[in-house]
A and B are shown apart, each in its own frame.
Chain A
Amino acid sequence: MAYFIQQTMVFCIPLMIVALAGVFAERSGIINIALEGIMVFGAFIGVLTLRLLLALRFGPEQGQLLLIIVIIVTIIMGGVFALLLAYASINLKADQTIGGTALNLLAPALVLFLVLMINQQNDLNIDSKYTAANLFMFFLEDFGLEAFKNDTSFLGVIVNVLFNKLYLTNLYAILIYVGLSIVLYKTKFGLRLRACGENPHAADSLGINVVKMRYIGTIISGCLASFGGFIYALTAAGCTSNGDVAGLGFLALAVMIFGNWKPVSIFLAALLFGALKCISVGYQYIDFLSFLTEWNISSHAYRVLPYFITLVVLAFTSKRSRAPKAEGIPYDKEARY
């Protein structure tokens, strides 16, 4: 059970943070389908920074500081990468879907190219002396809770989920998620951002700088997606970067649509998709799903599950979801509406 919850979180956290990335861009009026590409880029930047810092004799002793530096660099670079999309969509008034697709093509190619240059092979890792786990992970022992090790009672499960094999990135992600959700709904900035995605002409007539808000929305989007990419690389991909994040960026888009562009619903949607993904890759290890192994269905069938369910769920729910009204339309001040 503890394993199931933790594995679900491994997927759920990057999904929700990247879906929130989508929300910030789209609520400002910019469609960001480049989430996948930015994740790939973020994963690369994160791993690269970590690798370089380790080479500078940073070590496990400064693990948590190291992690924070890496996250900050990743976030900043993600924002910079998203500037490409912002410039193309806002200044050049390019079609945002095509611009995003271009970034999705560019990111893996660029990353693979750089990885090959740096490492002379198809993936980039950190020095094999270290693993992500021994650098950053907290265990029960670190909190003096080793008594709960194999405890399967309710309390035991909770303690294990919260304090065993803990990456602080998840905690940071959740804090950022909650913080930004509040910003989106309770602050002046959030109100204005949402106005730009709904009716930029109205926003403009109230003295709101639509171009600026859309830039900020897209940059925040890039920051979050990049962070999400790094979380994925760290917690699910063993700290490697190889130009791929397993389609998580696209899944995050689906989560965003399924969650109707609203943080709370997105969190629930991400949980659902995270659980499915977890089942699909690790059903053999989940105690209460042992019957699945007994059915003798090819494991490939389970692997398809999250993507298949995405398709079905979206087919039925997307009609009811309501996208920001002005998303995807370049803002033209002199055009009538």
Chain B
Amino acid sequence: MENYAIEMLNITKNFSGNLANDNITLQVKKGEIHALLGENGAGKSTLMSILFGLYRADNGVIKKDGEIIDVKDPKDATRFKIGMVHQHFKLIENFSVIDNIILGAETTKYGFILKKESKEKVKALSEQYGLHVDLDAIVENITVGMQQRVEILKMLYRENDILIFDEPTAVLTPQEIEELLKIMKNLANSGKSIIFITHKINEILSVADRCSVLRKGKYIGTVNISETSKEELSEMMVGRKVNFVTEKKESSPTDVVLEVENLCVSSGRKGKNSVNDVSFKVRRGEIVCIAGIDGNGQSELVYSLTGLKKINSGNVLLNGVDLKRLSIDKRNKLGIAHIPEDRHKHGLVLDFSLGDNLVLKRFRENQFQKFGFIKKEEVKVYSDQLIEKFDVRSGEGAFSIVRSMSGGNQQKAIIARELDLNYELLIAVQPTRGLDVGAIEYIHKQIVEQRDAGKAVLLVSLELDEVMNLSDRILVMYEGEIVGEFNPKETTVNELGLYMAGSKKQTKEMK
């Protein structure tokens, strides 16, 4: 018989009628990186929350090193040396890094916290595993990548040996991802067992030893990474063959829809603008993609187009209308659809139902209201239709509270709402963040269809695969400026990388 570090046997979990986990079995060996793969809403986060004691399973047992353990709450999990980095971080934003790490496992004398000793311990750990953090910084002021390292240090500080990573790479830049994967390998080599959830199959292929696949709450199987391929894994996961290359015709752009001239957006700090003297055009029937490393002004550029941030100078014209002084609402009415970068902050009202979220931009249309009263029936019919079309999975359909939905399905809800607007220009920022490969394939197809129907699309993505796959034209942004324009057919990922890192720059004439 094999020796497993952790085993979850016949786990079942029911959320008021919604079977999130249905008799699932997961067995992880000591010192391995075990990937967990599954579509959005397949039940991965739920399964891990059960292992970590956040939810209680209705059925099934958990074994550690062959012995049955009862994980009632996270305290028990910590006692059994199980740690978790959650999909949405669980950090206290206005606490310092060190306070976040020691919270709940403080070293004390007479109740007083021994800061110095704790710091030394954390420092030693961060050196051992190459996890660089600034211990005195306040969490809300550090980058997402560093926040994640704080989460990892939290687990190491508790000397956990089962480490759960729930979609750790979804929020990271490609550079940060590489670093994280290296750290994970280090951890596994030092004897820790790692459960790794991700939608990016390439990451699984590069670090994992084995992979278990879930589909719609059910366990499909476990495979050795050395004996499998990207195609096999994705087929196991969605139950059909997945196309990784989006098929599309040559684009045939017509009239200019969006015209940006010498746009500047201030960063609020002295010195450099976040967006500096940017000019470009997007035409009907083309997908223009802005590539760049996170934090080079892409977000601010989008904010200024959609009205979330003030335009300091320059012009932004939508079909010839100057947007500069218009409210967000007016801009929407002129035909801007926006898939925002931060789905929780700008995309959804988390405590509203899915149906209400789906009509969030349209409820003032006569179809959905009469004398200011919402026609609930219409909303239901309309949202059911979108839910069906975009395969948004949730417990209670249009009545599900969005907060309870899985991250990927929240994203699909936003995409459904925006693509169904009668718009001129689609601004999509990281539209497939957190989506499974099947959903990505579908969304990419939709975006191309929109293009072919004569819409203008401005896509912002950090993922070069997506950029190369979808765009008709690529603009690279570096430090607030556009440093190059490319045709995806004539460039390579490597060339783009050089421009993104700022080591190359096209002159005005070359563009």
Contact = CB atoms under 8 A, between A and B. Distances in A.
Nearest to B79: A207
Interface in B89-138: 90-95, 99, 102-106, 108, 111-113
Contact of B108 (A188, A201, A203, A336): A188
A260 to B, nearest CB: 11
Nearest to A198: B92
Nearest to A185: B113
B73 A195 contact: no
A212 B91 CA distance: 20
Given A186-B112, A195-B92, A203 B103 contact: yes
Interface string A177-205: 00000010011110110110011011111
A199 B94 CA distance: 10
Between A202, A322, A325, the greatest number of chain B beta carbons within 10 A of the residue's beta carbon is seen for A202
A335 B403 contact: yes
Contacts of B389: none
A201 B403 CA distance: 14
Contacts of A206: 74, 78, 90, 103-105, 154
B489 interface: no
Interface string A314-337: 000000001001000000011111
Contacts of B75: 207
A201 B52 CA distance: 13
Interface string B340-376: 0000000000000000000000000000000000000
A149 B109 CA distance: 47
A60 to B, nearest CB: 39
B130 to A, nearest CB: 24
Nearest to A206: B104
B119 to A, nearest CB: 14
B103 A191 contact: yes
B54 interface: yes
A286 interface: no
B269 interface: no
Nearest to A186: B112
Interface string A287-329: 0000000000000000000000000000000000010010000
Interface in A185-234: 186-189, 191-192, 194-195, 198-199, 201-208
Interface centre among B73, B86, B104, B108 (most CB of A within 10 A): B104
A317 to B, nearest CB: 18
A205 B90 contact: yes
A336 B77 CA distance: 19
Contacts of B108: 187-188
B88 interface: yes
B404 interface: yes
B113 A207 contact: no
A188 B73 CA distance: 20
Contact of A186 (B52, B54, B113): B113
A206 B151 CA distance: 11
A207 B53 CA distance: 10
B282 to A, nearest CB: 36
Given A191-B99, A322-B94, A205 B403 contact: no
B74 A188 contact: no
A207 B106 CA distance: 12
Contacts of A333: 54
B55 A205 contact: no
Contacts of A199: 90-93
Interface in A265-294: none
A187 B90 contact: no
B251 to A, nearest CB: 40
A207 B95 contact: no
A206 B106 CA distance: 11
B311 interface: no
B155 to A, nearest CB: 11
Contacts of B73: 204, 207
Contacts of A207: 73-75, 77-78, 104-105
B255 to A, nearest CB: 44
B62 interface: no
Contacts of B84: 205
Contact of B103 (A187, A192, A337): A192
Given A186-B113, A191-B113, A336-B404, A208 B103 contact: yes
A205 B73 CA distance: 8
20 contacts: A188-B106, A191-B113, A195-B92, A199-B92, A201-B90, A202-B103, A203-B104, A204-B73, A205-B52, A205-B86, A206-B74, A206-B78, A206-B103, A206-B105, A207-B77, A207-B78, A207-B105, A325-B93, A335-B404, A337-B88
Given A188-B106, A206-B154, 20 more contacts: A188-B111, A189-B111, A191-B103, A191-B113, A192-B103, A199-B91, A199-B92, A199-B93, A202-B92, A204-B73, A205-B52, A205-B90, A206-B74, A206-B103, A206-B105, A207-B75, A207-B104, A208-B103, A337-B88, A337-B403
Closest 8 CB pairs of A and B: A206-B104, A207-B75, A202-B90, A188-B106, A187-B111, A198-B92, A205-B74, A199-B92
Interface of B: 52, 54-55, 73-75, 77-78, 84, 86, 88, 90-95, 99, 102-106, 108, 111-113, 154, 403-404
